[in-house]
């Protein structure tokens, strides 16, 4: 009660504030999402994501070594494959010599300590831009799961430490766990995108991979709402996360980040595994755009958002700001 209690005593100067600070950030809190493309010594900046590039494997490896030196210990990797390799089965996804498999091998060879988490979902390989196989105008859940198992096993064979299913099919974590175990990979972990919402914040990512749902000659859903979650829902996120843990997920994820911090805390309180948060492409783009105009202070907003995601309950944050934030934290 005032005047016995004066909250401002704990805010008098930076020293006292640092003593009572409840949350801290370090580069090991971050995972860096990286886009990989064919070619050599090639990179192209994604127009809606200034500072983020699609890179050939050789340049990706160079960047991985740099961010490792900055203290970042995990990368999420996504590939942009040639249109000619896309079909409705997604079979390029488990080509042992595919772009993803080559990238995993190259990164693990050059930087063995970096935890490599390839994305497991069919959208970069789907002629329809969906995270699954289309049958009769819908995504065929169980057939998609079998494709995802083949994909994940091929990632494990290439040396992946974790696989990261981002597709939202029902039961895929269980099938991935069983498939990895049966193939002799009991120690390859699963980071499941458990509460992934059907969000407009993924726009720039879909530009990066050319993976947005598209018009087709057959009937296909125009968006991802039959598998990604309705952003009006909270309880359902807890259900999804608990089911994934039961099915063998080592970590669960909430995605997107900033607009979903209530979900992060809810899931954090419900599960006993690390919760990761994906601070997604649209969130990155908004900060870049506003700060380019001088409307927001880029570095301050970046650090505030990352700290708030951590405070909400994230053990790990997948963020396109990983490198910039790690550099700032070193200063
Ligand atoms: C697709 C996938 C998406 C993202 C990660 N994996 C996009 C989507 O669901 O359409 C989005 C990441 C981001 O926006 O940064 N499996």
Using most ligand atoms within 8 A of CB, pick from 166, 222, 258, 321 the residue to mutate for ligand 1: 166
Using most ligand atoms within 8 A of CB, pick from 164, 205, 320 the residue to mutate for ligand 1: 205
Instruction: State the distance from the centre of ligand 1 to the C-alpha of 69, rounded, in angstroms.
Output: 27
CB-based burial of residue 144 (10 Å sphere; 0-12 exposed, 13-18 middle, 19+ buried)?
buried
pLDDT at 210: 87
Task: Supply the mean pLDDT for the chain.
Answer: 97
CB 252 within 8 A of CB 244: yes
Instruction: State the distance from the centre of ligand 1 to the C-alpha of 172, rounded, in angstroms.
Output: 17
Place of tokens 């405070």: 311
Q: How many CB atoms lie within 10 A of CB 3?
A: 5
Evaluate whether residue 117 is within a structural domain: yes
Which helix (H) or strand (E) segment is 330 a member of? helix 322-330
Note the pLDDT tens digit of each residue in 91-117: 999 999 999 999 999 999 999 999 999
To the query of whether residue 65 is one of the catalytic residues in this protein, the response is no
User: What is the number of the ligand 1 atom nearest to the C-alpha of 282?
Assistant: 14
Torsion of CA 102, 104, 105, 108, to 10 degrees: 160
Extract the runs of DSSP E, i.e. beta strands, from the chain: 30-37, 43-46, 49-55, 74-80, 115-120, 134-135, 138-139, 162-165, 189-196, 251-255, 275-279, 316-319
3-state SS class at 162: strand
Query: What CATH code is carried by the domain that includes residue 203?
Result: 3.20.20.70
Q: Which residue ranges in the chain fall short of pLDDT 70?
A: none
Evaluate whether residue 19 is within a structural domain: no
* Concatenated DSSP letters of 258-272: GGGHHHHHHHHHH-S
Number of domains composing the chain:
1
CB-based burial of residue 329 (10 Å sphere; 0-12 exposed, 13-18 middle, 19+ buried)?
middle
Instruction: State the distance from the centre of ligand 1 to the C-alpha of 66, rounded, in angstroms.
Output: 25
Catalytic residue among 86, 105, 224, 255: 255
Alpha-carbon gap, residue 230 to 191, rounded angstroms: 21
Residue 113 — φ and ψ, nearest 5°? -80, -10
pLDDT at 331: 85
Using most ligand atoms within 8 A of CB, pick from 121, 122, 147, 317 the residue to mutate for ligand 1: 121
**Kind of pairing, strands 189-196 and 251-255?**
parallel
Note the pLDDT tens digit of each residue in 132-166: 999 999 999 999 999 999 999 999 999 999 999 99
pLDDT at 216: 86
Token reading at 303: 């650090």
14 is in an annotated binding site: no
Evaluate whether residue 139 is within a structural domain: yes
Evaluate whether residue 176 is within a structural domain: yes
Token reading at 308: 């708030």
Evaluate whether residue 2 is within a structural domain: no
pLDDT at 139: 96
Instruction: State the distance from the centre of ligand 1 to the C-alpha of 227, rounded, in angstroms.
Output: 13
Evaluate whether residue 92 is within a structural domain: yes
Q: Whose alpha carbon is nearest atom 6 of ligand 1?
A: 166
Q: Which residues pair with 77 in a beta bridge?
A: 34, 118
Mark residue 231 as left, alpha or beta (left: phi above 0; alpha: psi -120 to 50; beta: remaining). alpha
Exposure pattern of 73-95 as b/e (b: 16+ CB <10 Å)?
Answer: bbbbbbbbbeeebbebbbbbbbb
User: What is the number of the ligand 1 atom nearest to the C-alpha of 281?
Assistant: 15
Q: Whose alpha carbon is nearest atom 8 of ligand 1?
A: 202
Place of tokens 């983020």: 52
Q: What is the CA radius of gyration of the chain?
A: 20
HSE (side-chain half, CA atoms, 13 Å) at 4: 1
The pocket around ligand 1, CB under 6 angstroms, is made up of 119, 121, 123, 131, 166-167, 202, 205-206, 224, 280-281
Q: Whose alpha carbon is nearest atom 11 of ligand 1?
A: 202
Which helix (H) or strand (E) segment is 312 a member of? helix 298-312
Q: What is the pTM of this model?
A: 0.97
Give the orientation angle of helix 298-312 with respect to helix 322-330, to 10 degrees.
100
Q: Whose alpha carbon is nearest atom 9 of ligand 1?
A: 202
Evaluate whether residue 223 is within a structural domain: yes
Domain residues for the domain of 282 are 25-330
Evaluate whether residue 324 is within a structural domain: yes
* Concatenated DSSP letters of 96-138: TTSHHHHHHHHHHHH-TTSEEEEEE-SGGGBTTS-SS-EETTE
Instruction: State the distance from the centre of ligand 1 to the C-alpha of 37, rounded, in angstroms.
Output: 16
To the query of whether residue 268 is one of the catalytic residues in this protein, the response is no
C-alpha 19, offset from chain centre: 33
The closest alpha carbon to 287, from 24, 52, 67, 129, belongs to 52
DSSP state of 95: -
């Amino acid at each position: 009660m005032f005047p016995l209690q004066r909250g401002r005593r704990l805010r008098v100067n930076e020293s006292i504030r640092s003593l009572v600070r409840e949350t801290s950030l370090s580069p090991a809190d971050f995972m860096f999402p990286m886009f990989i493309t064919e070619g050599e010594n090639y990179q192209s900046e994604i127009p809606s994501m200034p500072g983020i590039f699609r890179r050939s494997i050789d340049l990706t490896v160079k960047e991985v070594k740099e961010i490792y030196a900055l203290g970042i210990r995990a990368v999420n990797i996504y590939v942009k494959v040639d249109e000619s390799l896309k079909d409705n089965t997604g079979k390029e996804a488990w080509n042992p010599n595919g772009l993803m498999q080559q990238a995993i091998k190259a990164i693990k060879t050059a930087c063995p300590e970096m935890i490599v988490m390839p994305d497991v979902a069919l959208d970069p390989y789907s002629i329809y831009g969906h995270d699954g196989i289309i049958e009769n105008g819908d995504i065929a859940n169980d057939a998609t799961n079998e494709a995802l198992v083949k994909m994940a096993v091929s990632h494990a064979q290439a040396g992946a430490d974790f696989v990261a299913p981002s597709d939202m099919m029902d039961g895929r974590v269980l099938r991935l766990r069983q498939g990895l175990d049966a193939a002799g990979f009991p120690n390859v972990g699963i980071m499941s995108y458990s509460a992934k919402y059907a969000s407009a914040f993924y726009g720039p990512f879909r530009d990066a991979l050319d993976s947005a749902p598209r018009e087709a000659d057959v009937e296909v859903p125009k968006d991802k709402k039959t598998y990604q979650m309705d952003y009006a829902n909270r309880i359902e996120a807890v259900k999804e996360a608990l089911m994934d843990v039961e099915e063998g997920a080592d970590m669960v994820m909430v995605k997107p980040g900033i607009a979903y911090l209530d979900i992060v805390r809810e899931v954090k309180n419900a599960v006993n595994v690390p919760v990761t948060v994906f601070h997604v492409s649209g969130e990155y783009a908004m900060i870049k755009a506003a700060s380019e105009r001088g409307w927001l202070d880029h570095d301050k907003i970046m650090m505030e958002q990352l700290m708030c995601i951590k405070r909400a309950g994230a053990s790990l944050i997948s963020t396109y700001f990983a490198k910039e934030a790690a550099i700032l934290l070193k200063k």
